[in-house]
Amino acid sequence: MKLLNVARWSAVLLAVSAVPMRADGFVSPYIGFNYGGNSNCATLTNCEDQRWNFGVSLGSKSSVVGFEADIAWAKDFFGKVPGAENSVFTLMSNVVIGPSGRVQPYVLAGVGLIRPHTSFNVADTITSFSDNSIGYDVGFGVNGYFTKSVGIRGDVRRFKTFQDLPRISGLSDEHLMFWRVSIGLALRF
């Protein structure tokens, strides 16, 4: 049911942020890591146990406003524990605002799915928890293009669920919140 609501909100955002024919399409695969909030790294600069995440952003942008779909997955989000696996998957629909050109600073905000997962294997008994939660992200970044179509992208985003999550990996009925910093390839067409 929650996934259906995410799909509905994504369709609404896509319809509202329709861009003119002269919009640039873009794809940006990236790597990054999470910090702060409920992640296993308390701060951006003082973390010995960084866990990489992987993802891709794709969308379309006119001279000022655009739409982006961002998909990411972070393995061992809550830290690495023997006999346990955990991850966080995000699927966000964002409105992007920023100028066109070779250097494109931008801000973005959106809503979507945040899905934490944990699995414990104790004495050959597997206990698993996953929850589809609706959340939001806000952030900023910059695209820098070396050629008309190829460049790099870096950004920082804050993610937070709207509703409380049951107790997982130290959480006690509270919102899941974290920051993500990433860098990736920027391709536009």
Check whether domain 2-17+25-188 has CATH 3.30.300.280, yes or no: no
Which token pair is 34?
A: 């999470």
| Contact (CB, 8 A) for 187 and 48 | no
Whether the predicted pLDDT of 89 surpasses 50: yes
Indicate yes or no: pTM above 0.85.
no
Q: What is the predicted pLDDT for the residue at 76? A: 87
Q: So where are the chain's domains? A: 2-17+25-188
Nearest to 116 by CA among 133, 135, 94: 133
Least confident range from 11-25, 42-56, 92-106, 118-132: namely 11-25
Q: Classify residue 19 by burial, with Cβ atoms within 10 Å: 0-12, 13-18, 19+.
A: middle
